[in-house]
Amino acid sequence: MEDQGCPRCKTTKYRNPSLKLLVNVCGHSLCETCVEALFVKGSGICPECGTALRKNNFRVQLFEDPFIEKEIEIRKKILKDFNKKEEDFATLDEYNDYIEMIETLIFNIVNNIEVDETKQTIEQYRRENKDQISKGRNKKSKDEEYLESLIEQEKEESSLKRKLIVEEEQREKDSRKKHKEALLDELMFSDRSALDILNEHKTELDKENDYHIPVMATTKFSTGIKLGSQGPFMSVPTEIIELYTYSPIHLDVLGPEPPEEDALETTGYLRNIRSASEEEKGGGFHSKLACMRALLDAVNGLFYLPDQV
Say which CATH number the domain at 12 has.
3.30.40.10
Residues forming beta bridges with residue 12, ordered by sequence position: 5
Q: What is the DSSP letter of 89?
A: S
From its phi and psi, is residue 36 left (phi > 0), alpha (psi between -120 and 50) or beta? alpha
How far is it, in rounded angstroms, from Cα 259 to Cα 293?
Answer: 12
- Contacts of residue 11, Cβ cutoff 8 Å, sequence gap at least 6: 5, 19, 31
Q: Is the pLDDT of residue 284 over 70?
A: yes
Query: Does residue 104 register a pLDDT over 50?
Result: yes
If one counts every other C-beta atom within 10 angstroms of the C-beta of residue 28, the result is 19
Which of 169, 238, 251, 247 minimizes the C-alpha distance to 209? 169
Domain C-terminal end among 22, 45, 64: 64
pLDDT range class, residue 1, cuts 50, 70, 90? very low
Domain count, the chain: 4
pLDDT band at 2 (very low <50, low <70, confident <90, very high): low
Share of the chain above pLDDT 90, in %: 0
CA dihedral 222, 228, 229, 231 (to 10 degrees): 120
CA distance 150 to 7: 48
Q: How confident is the model over 139-161, as a mean pLDDT?
A: 76
Bridge partner list, 44: 53
Residue 140 has pLDDT above 80, yes or no: no
Is residue 236 in a domain? Answer: no
Containing structural domain, residue 82: 73-138
Count other C-beta atoms under 10 Å from residue 191's C-beta.
4
Q: Is residue 101 part of a domain?
A: yes
pLDDT of residue 218 exceeding 70: no
How many percent of the chain have pLDDT more than 70? 83
**pLDDT single digits (tens) 117-129:** 888 888 888 888 8
CB 81 within 8 A of CB 101: no
Q: Are residues 132 and 79 in the same domain?
A: yes
pLDDT of res. 143: 62
Q: Say if residue 124 is in the same domain as residue 169.
A: no
**Of residues 111 and 209, which shows the higher confidence score?**
111
Same domain, 78 and 27: no
Residue 245 lies in a domain: no
Q: What is the dihedral of CA 80, 82, 84, 90, to 10 degrees?
A: 180
Distance CA 292, CA 298 (A): 10
Convert the pLDDT of each residue in 63-79 to its tens digit.
Answer: 777 777 778 878 888 88
117 plus 91 within the same structural domain: yes
The stretch 220-224 carries a mean pLDDT of 46
**pLDDT at 274 (0 to 100):** 84
Q: Is residue 191 part of a domain?
A: yes
Domain co-membership, 46 together with 78: no
In a domain, 291, yes or no: yes
Residue 80 shares a structural domain with residue 105 = yes
One-letter amino acid for residue 9 of the chain: C
- What secondary structure does DSSP assign to 231-293, as a single string? -SSPPPPP---PPP---PPP---SSSPPPPGGGTTTTTTTTTSPPPPHHHHHTT--HHHHHHH
Let me know whether 129 and 163 are in one domain: no
| pLDDT in the model for residue 278 | 85
288 within some domain: yes
One domain, residues 122 and 96: yes
79 and 24 both lie in a single domain: no
Please report the pLDDT score of residue 285 as a whole number: 83
Q: Does some domain include residue 197?
A: yes
Asked if 85 and 47 sit in the same domain, the reply is: no
pLDDT on residue 223: 46
Residue 261's CB: how many other CB atoms inside 10 A? 14
**274 inside domain:** yes
The mean pLDDT value of the chain amounts to: 78
